Amino acid sequence: MGKDLIQQSFLKKQEAGEKLFIPYIMAGDGGLDILEERIDYLHQCGAAAIELGIPFSDPVADGPTIQDAGLRALNKGTSLGSVLNVLKESSERRSVPIILMTYLNPIFVYGIEKFASDCKQAGVDGVIIPDLPLEEEAIIDKLLYKNSIAFIRLAAMTSTKERVLELAKRSEGFLYAVSVTGTTGPRATHEQEVKDYLRMLKQESAVPVLAGFGVSTEVQARELSSYCDGVIVGSKIVDLFHKGQLEEIKGLIQNSVKYEVNS
């Protein structure tokens, strides 16, 4: 269903009075044979969508926790093709949106046109490509559109306001607001500058705004969500899965979606 499934899932959560929570997991961390099981578990816990990372040898936007997960997945032979094959096998049974996060190089090697087509066949609903700049999007944006796959853009605090507004205008599904300067991973606090930034994006974006990078606790998730539509949590979820702490994942998701409003 592509971008329509993302919209439907988000509306359902928002109509229930919840904020949006998207957990990130690394495909192949722990083996591809448990991927479907993990997706199902996160859905049951209340995830509005699931961001699925493709392991890559040079993950420039990722902190140590996700880098380590990527190495574990690569060591098990995980590839873009093998992930898409697993997703295709379970696509008919799946009702939670899948957002694929991959760097450009694996797509380029796989074949850009084949990637877009196979994503549709695998039931991928959205794609994030963190190292593809605005100026070079033409190599893939029309192919994703043709296959009804949302092209989700990242907006960084270090960008000019003009550039951020262009990203907000172009983003489909949701706008990924990078709420730190640096790589992914836990942060102790988020400054007022971040909250003002999220509030500005929320005012300017036609699609939901979700804050990611540096969100690791339910307190942080609820606080940031009060300035936008929800959060994306990666390193903490990856770490909890690696340690087998499933109840902690459930608690983090369910306690993070509580609705709080800031003036």
Q: Give which of 51, 21, 41, 239 is closest to 154, Cα–Cα.
A: 51
* 143 contacts: CB under 8 Å, gap ≥ 6: 112, 113, 115, 116, 117
Which range in 59-73, 78-92, 215-229 is most confidently predicted, on average pLDDT? 78-92
Give the pLDDT confidence score for residue 191 in this predicted structure. 74
| Residue-range definition of the domain harbouring residue 97 | 3-256
Residue 10 lies in a domain: yes
Percent of the chain topping pLDDT 70: 93
Residue 197 lies in a domain: yes
pLDDT digits (tens, 9 = 90+) for 173-222: 999 999 865 444 444 445 788 889 999 999 999 999 999 988 889 999 99
Instruction: Name the maximum alpha-carbon separation found in the chain.
Output: 49
φ/ψ of residue 127, rounded to 5: -135, 135
For residues 22-39, average pLDDT: 96
103 SS3 class: coil
Tally of structural domains, the chain: 1
Residue 119 lies in a domain: yes
CATH number, position 108 = 3.20.20.70
Give the pLDDT confidence score for residue 185 in this predicted structure. 44
Out of 18, 51, 118, 172, the active site residue is 51
Residue 262 lies in a domain: no
Out of 18, 62, 218, 223, the active site residue is 62
Task: Count Cβ neighbours within 10 Å for each residue of 52-91 and write b for 16 or more, e otherwise.
Answer: bbbbbeebebbbebbbbbbebbbeeebbbebbbebbbeee
Is 51 tagged catalytic?
Answer: yes
For residues 146-151, average pLDDT: 96
Is 68 tagged catalytic?
Answer: no
Residue 61 lies in a domain: yes
